[in-house]
Amino acid sequence: MKTKLIFIALLGLTIYSCGENGGANGNKPSKETLKKNIRQMEDSLKQLTATLTDIKQIPNLTRIELINRYLEFYKNYPEDSYAPECLDKVHMVYSGMNVHMRSAQYADTLLTKYPEYVNRAMVLESQGSNYDIFIQPRDSAKVRYYYQLLLKENPTLDKDKKKGIQERLKFNHLNFDQYLEEKMNEMVSK
């Protein structure tokens, strides 16, 4: 079963690489073709995820191919409303692969080029976490920047989330592990 799924994923990659519309001959592929290619790869990943117990983990090559499909849409149709969603998905896939610096770079592109993006608050929160927890060495200035921007742009943010972010900013001088230890000590001493 594992071999069959990997073969199907690689076959899909090969077919896609050969191109359906445009590409090597200089023609711009249509939005519909690009979206179809993205859906096919997303479906392949869903099938692989469903059999995760058999294959143990999804090959990064498959995820990179999905990233490439999202980026192809974004690069060909940056003005389309689906383009920022593609960048968001690239940011999330890289994060899922633990390639947090690349995740942060695409999130920054998204935040810069699409300031009205509907999920901007989630991306800002993700960026704060990237720089707070995952990217080493930790950049407390960027943690502060993204969390403050999140608070400023979202005055109606959930009360508990807002309080949590404000509390994190209060202890921004501590790395995340130190912060958790501080919070545990506060809980114990109550």
Q: What is the CA radius of gyration of the chain?
A: 20
% residues pLDDT > 90 (the chain): 70
Pick the CATH number of 80-190 from 1.10.3470, 1.25.40, 3.40.1000, 3.40.50: 1.25.40
CA angle 65, 60, 93 (to 5 degrees): 70
Please, is 73 exposed, middle or buried when counting C-beta atoms within 10 Å of its C-beta (0-12, 13-18, 19+)? buried
- What are the residue boundaries of the structural domains of the chain, listed by start? 1-77, 80-190
pLDDT for residue 11: 41
pLDDT for residue 17: 46
**pLDDT exceeds 70 at position 6:** no
Tally: H helices and E strands in the chain: 10, 0
Please state, in angstroms and rounded to a whole number, the distance separating the CA atoms of residues 168 and 35.
39
**More confidently predicted of 6 and 98:** 98
pTM: 0.79
pLDDT for residue 141: 97
- The pLDDT of 170-184, averaged and rounded, is 93
Please state, in angstroms and rounded to a whole number, the distance separating the CA atoms of residues 108 and 134.
16
**pLDDT exceeds 90 at position 44:** no
